[in-house]
Structure formats: structure tokens, C-alpha cells
Amino acid sequence: MEKIIVRGGNQLHGKIKVEGAKNAVLPVIAASILAERGTSHIYDVPSLADVYTMREVLRNLNIEVEYENRSFRVNAEGVLKTEAPFEYVRKMRASFLVMGPLLARIGKARIALPGGCAIGSRPIDQHLKGFEAMGAKVEIGKGFIEAQVDGRLQGAKIYLDFPSVGATENIMMAATMAEGTTIIENAAEEPEIVCLANYLNAMGAKVRGAGTGIIRVEGVEGLQGAEHTVIPDRIEAGTFMVAAAITKGDLVVEGAVAEHLRPLIAKMEEMGVTITEVENGLRVIGPETLKPVDIKTMPHPGFPTDMQAQMMALLLQADGTSVITETVFENRYMHVEEFRRMNSNIKIEGRSAIITGPNQLQGAEVAATDLRAGAALILAGLVAEGVTRVTELQHIDRGYVNLAAKLQSIGADVDRIEEVVETGIEDMEAPASLRLNTNFV
């Protein structure tokens, strides 16, 4: 069993570079299906488990995909298959994003019900509502969703009951080759939506209004391959910003885009953290004493739910009482029980978590219940007394590239080890010769 071992007490200093955004690259890869001619080249692609899963989904659709040196080359000119297999889709919710492109391109798609992190109910009804409004017939049964349309999809006005990022992306991609104009109202406004729209437009689509609540897509006859660079990962950037603040460190997060991080910057500055824009990034300096704040997660441009767990780790060190209210996902407090194992004072009341600090955290064995929870537990371990052992690393690997090694490179005492449990020797650390390369600056 692999574990990340964290020994608290070190301040973090130096520079650390952010990868391409996980939540941007997956829909961009899916959109490559739309190119009936030419080859797409996608740059700054992070080496993540989810990226490899999406690569296999495309290959199973009879699409040529090569991935090397942080770049994707995709050629979808051949005859495409219509089914995304369960063995891949079950691993990752974002694999459902191939449905919109397949409907637009060949008029039919059969996709297994999606998987991913177990963080509450995340229905796909808004995706299906959009497809049906555009003329597709949708059927659900035996663990699959099947959609098909005779001829081309038709432009439509679609109002989303919630500004779902995935639904906005899927409908936007489907609409690119529909007959007529599609208007998406109450659309998601995240930077990742803008990234996808820029790629679609480079392919020849006519998408307007991305980044606002109303997106207009004028359908075209066909799309072609294009070059595109993925935006930096704002959630990874935010995780490193919290790492600097929680350790009273001084860190430059290279690639962090302030415009994408305004809600997080505002709350961290309210806590007393110093954040300044520097060339190609942000400098973050942690204060001696953190102030408590209240946070409510909201769709963009509100506070991102994907930073909720990491901010909870930071608020555990604040002097006073803070309240986090989670409005985007239900059941996204599973990490609270793990924090409690580390001697934290957190009370859950409905959708709110009441955090009283500062807490002198104690190292413990904890499990990453989902992707962001895993990162948050590592952050807590950076300031805990003793040793923190984080398990269930497959969740962390879905969203962070070499997280332990990157933290090592800026001064954290962190190792990723393979524990030999069969012999009864627990918590065996790897010898120095096998430790991860820390040359990430």
C-alpha cells in the first residue's frame, strides 16, 4: 500500500510551478472528437490518472491519440465508434463529456453511467435536458445512457436549473455542429469554460459569451484540428497558496493567474495572508497569526467548492471561530472525520462546518476520501505534531502531479512510500536512493 508520509514543522520557501488545469484539459480532449479533419495539438497537459483515462476513452472510440512531453496529439478523422466502455467511464465522471461531441459528429452515443469522486449527488440531468432540447432521443437503462438523433442536432434555447460546468461544456460542444443557434442560459462562468470555448473557436466553431451567464453557439458544418494551450490549474495553485500560508512560509506560485483566483485571494487576505502579483505568478507570505473568516462555496465567480477542504485545513490554524457553508455539493464534508483524527475542533450543522481554532494538530493515519480532501490532509500534516500518514492515494493522483515531490522541493518533509505490510514491518520508509526526484522548480 502506498502512503504519503508528512512530518510537520517546516516552513515552505521558494518557487513552485503550476500544471495545466485538470478541469480544463479533460473537456478540451473530449472536444477533439469534433475534428472531422486535421490533427489537434494540445499543450501543457498534466500527467494525471484522469488524463490517461480520457486517452483510453478516445482510443476506444477509434481515435488516434499520442501523449508525450506534456502534449496531446489527436487525430479523429476515422470512422468513430459510439460507445465509451464502462471500464474507463466508471473511473472518471468527466468521461461523460464525450457524449456531446459524439452526438454532434455522428448522431449517436452510448455511455456508461459516470464515476469519479464520491462527493454527493452530481446528477447529469442537465446534460440530458440540453441534448433533448436539441432534438436527441435519450434512453437510460442497464447502466448506460444512449442518445441519438436523426440528421443534425437543432439549435435551441436551453436554461440550466443550476450553472453546471459539465452540462455547459457538453451542451456547448454538441451545439457547435447543430443546425441553427443554441443559447445556453444560466451557463457556468468558470475559466475552464472560456478555455474550452477558445479551443472550439480555434477549430472553427462560433461560440460567444463564454465566461458569462449566457452563451451563444452558432452551428457550423464541420470542425478541424487546432492547436491549443491549456490554462494553469487554479485549484493546484490555490493548494500551494494554502501550503505557504499554513506553514508561515514565503512561496512564489508560478503560473497562478490572479484573475482566476479572486475569491480565494480575497478570503486569504482577510485571514492576514500577504498575496502579491509577481511576474508570471503570485507570491504568498503566511502571517504569524491567522484570522478566522466565514466562507460560502458558490459557482464561479464565487468561492470554489474545490478549495473548500484545503481552506478548512487553513482555518483550523486561525485564532477564533470560522464557518464554512457548502452550497454546491452535498456530502462534501467526509474529510471532517479524518481531520478529527488529527485532533481538530470541527462541528457539522447541516451544510455548515463550524471550525474553532487554533488547533494543535496531531499526526495520525488518515484516508483521502476524495481528491481535494487528500490534498487538505497533506496540508494539515505540514503543521501537525509528529507524523501524518495519508492513504488512498489514487484519489490524489487524479488531480495532482507528483504532489509529494513538489512539496519536497519547497522544503516540506514529505515522502511517498510503498509500505510492506506482508512482513509485518509497517511504515517502512524508502531509502534515500529511491526517494522522489525533487527537481521541479
Binding residues for phosphoenolpyruvate: 22-23
Binding residues: 22-23, 93, 122-126, 306, 328
Residue limits of CATH 3.65.10.10 in the chain: 2-19+232-434, 22-229
What is d(CA 231, CA 255) in angstroms, rounded to the nearest whole number?
9
Binding residues for UDP-N-acetyl-alpha-D-glucosamine: 93, 122-126, 306, 328
Homologous superfamily in CATH for domain 22-229: Enolpyruvate transferase domain (3.65.10.10)
> H/E/C letters for each residue in 363-377?
CCEEECCCHHHHHHH
What is d(CA 42, CA 58) in angstroms, rounded to the nearest whole number?
14
What predicted TM-score, i.e. pTM, was given to this entire model? 0.91
The amino acid at residue 102 is L
What is d(CA 241, CA 266) in angstroms, rounded to the nearest whole number?
12
The amino acid at residue 54 is M
Is 195 labeled as catalytic in the residue annotation? no
Fold that domain 2-19+232-434 belongs to in CATH: UDP-n-acetylglucosamine1-carboxyvinyl-transferase; Chain (3.65.10)
With a pLDDT cut of 90, the percent of the chain lying above it is: 85
Neighbour order of strands in the sheet with 144-148: 83-84, 108-112, 144-148, 137-141
The continuous run of DSSP H or E covering 434 comes out as none
pLDDT digits (tens, 9 = 90+) for 179-202: 999 999 999 999 999 999 999 999
Residue of 4, 80, 117, 147 marked active site: 117
Q: How high is the pLDDT of residue 94?
A: 81
State the chain's mean pLDDT as an integer: 93
pLDDT at 432 over 70: no
3-state helix vs strand vs coil in the chain, percent to 5: 30, 30, 40
With a pLDDT cut of 70, the percent of the chain lying above it is: 93
pLDDT digits (tens, 9 = 90+) for 16-47: 999 999 999 999 999 999 999 999 999 999 99
pLDDT at 427 over 60: no
3-class DSSP assignment, residue 276: strand
Q: How far is CA 353 from the centre of its chain?
A: 22
Q: How high is the pLDDT of residue 122?
A: 52
Q: How high is the pLDDT of residue 421?
A: 60
Quick check: 429 and 415 in contact, CB under 8 A? yes
Crossing angle for the helix pair 22-31 and 165-175, to the nearest 10 degrees: 20
Which pLDDT band holds residue 422 (cuts at 50, 70, 90)? low
What is d(CA 106, CA 29) in angstroms, rounded to the nearest whole number?
17
Query: Which residues pair with residue 418 across a beta bridge?
Result: 2
